[in-house]
A and B are shown apart, each in its own frame.
Chain A
Amino acid sequence: MKIAVTSQGDTLESQLDPRFGRAAYIIIVDTQTLEFKALDNSTNKNSFKGAGIQAAAMISDNDAEVLLTGFCGPNAFQTLEAAGVKVANDQTGKIIDVIEKYNQGNIVFADGANKDGHW
């Protein structure tokens, strides 16, 4: 299964980026094989508005079923929910460790945004 993790760098050794919409990279990883690709999120990172919405659409395009991140706002959450992507907020640490935690079943999925929208 493919999952998405927000990342400060483009490898599995990078640190998780707590921001969702404006994360530096979004890593799409296969939880079984650990094959991954790092999507450059700079367009959304520098976007004027709606970064979370656009990042959510990008995750859906890349067939990820789960998102692991730090903070997720209301618009992004609504988009992810519509795309059928489950969200786990409040994650920290190295990408590889977060994936390991996910594989062990130690992740709680959110039922809403954990951050207010930006104005």
Chain B
Amino acid sequence: MIISIASGKGGTGKTTVSTNLALSIDQEVQLLDCDVEEPNAHLFLNPIIEKNEPVLAPVPQIDLEKCTFCKKCMDICRFGAIAVLKKDVLIFENLCHSCGGCFEICPEDAIIEKARSLGEIEHGKTGDISFIHGRLDIGQVMVPPIIKKVRSYSDPDAVTIIDAPPGTSCPVIAAMSKADFILLVTEPTPFGLHDLKLAVETVKILDIPHGLVINRAGLGNDDVKSYAQKEGIPILMEIPFDKKIAQIYSKGEMIVDRLPEYKKKFHILFEKIRQLVEAKGV
């Protein structure tokens, strides 16, 4: 079962919920931190990293001996990454999205595939939890290939928890698509609600069962609850706006370790998710 934890707005508590949930499930668990632009789950879970591997993407390199400067590669490139000049061809690797169009269309077989690094993936263990995260190289912008690579290690026999990036753009879709359940974490503030609505619209398009965790409950107002009720989105858990929790978080500690009653609460959250997923399956 794949549970993707998303939010719309950043800083609502995706990592807090992902990591504490991972520690509260009494079966095989994987945590995939897919917020590859700023992974942070490792700061809380302190995994022992066992191996790492690069994430590479193909980019074109032109064989000027074979090139006839016909411009077909330049014309097919939607990202303007190729400039065919009279006697030279320039490739702007940072604009290339590795779609492969230029390789396919070149009639002279003059384009050689070269690899460039987008980022890396690290695998490790924290207790019994299998931990994987991706990390985008500085200066790179192509996030989805890294997320897809992290997700390629998803174990169908385990409960896979995905810590998704914020927002609603391509990286988020890459972290949510084909999940069995999307857990949206929000806060009861106007900002939280605004971005939650965007996230809900996205989840509806993906047509994946979803539910809500309200973090910092007690702050702000009840608009998030009214919205959830109107939309028929179940509120599966509320985490109060509590100084103790903020202190635990700020030290990089786990709520379920320091406030043991939360282990049960997160376990109940997992059971509710499981029931919703099974109900959908029927």
Binding site for B on A (CB under 8 A): 47-51, 53-54, 56-57, 60-61, 75, 78-79, 82-83, 119
Contact = CB atoms under 8 A, between A and B. Distances in A.
Interface string B84-105: 1110101010010000000000
A53 B74 CA distance: 10
Nearest to B81: A50
Given A57-B85, A60-B85, A83-B85, A47 B80 contact: yes
Given A57-B74, A119-B141, A49 B85 contact: no
A54 B76 CA distance: 12
Contact of A83 (B77, B79, B86, B141): B86
- Chain B contact residues, majority secondary structure: loop
A57 B84 contact: yes
Contacts of B78: 48-49
A75 B92 CA distance: 8
B239 interface: no
Nearest to A56: B83
A79 B78 CA distance: 17
28 contacts: A47-B80, A48-B79, A49-B79, A50-B77, A50-B80, A50-B81, A50-B92, A50-B95, A51-B80, A53-B81, A53-B83, A53-B90, A53-B92, A54-B74, A54-B80, A56-B83, A57-B85, A60-B85, A60-B86, A75-B92, A79-B85, A82-B85, A82-B88, A82-B90, A83-B85, A83-B86, A83-B88, A119-B141
B83 A54 contact: yes
| Interface size of B as a range | 10 to 19
List the 10 closest A-B pairs by CB distance, nearest first.
A50-B80, A49-B79, A57-B83, A83-B85, A79-B83, A53-B83, A49-B80, A60-B85, A54-B80, A53-B80
A116 to B, nearest CB: 13
Given A47-B80, A49-B95, A82-B90, 16 more contacts: A48-B78, A49-B78, A50-B95, A53-B82, A53-B90, A53-B92, A54-B80, A56-B83, A57-B74, A57-B83, A57-B85, A61-B86, A75-B95, A82-B88, A83-B85, A83-B88
A78 B80 contact: no
A79 B82 CA distance: 10
- Chain A interface SS verdict (over half): helix
A60 B79 CA distance: 19
Interface of B: 74, 77-86, 88, 90, 92, 95, 141
Contacts of A48: 78-80
Contacts of B79: 48-50
Contacts of A83: 85-86, 88
Contacts of B90: 53, 78-79, 82
B78 to A, nearest CB: 6
Nearest to A85: B85
A57 B73 CA distance: 13
A112 to B, nearest CB: 16
A117 B47 CA distance: 38
A51 B74 CA distance: 12
Contacts of B141: 119
A110 B204 CA distance: 52
A51 B79 CA distance: 9
A21 B95 CA distance: 15
A18 to B, nearest CB: 20
Nearest to A119: B141
A74 B80 CA distance: 14
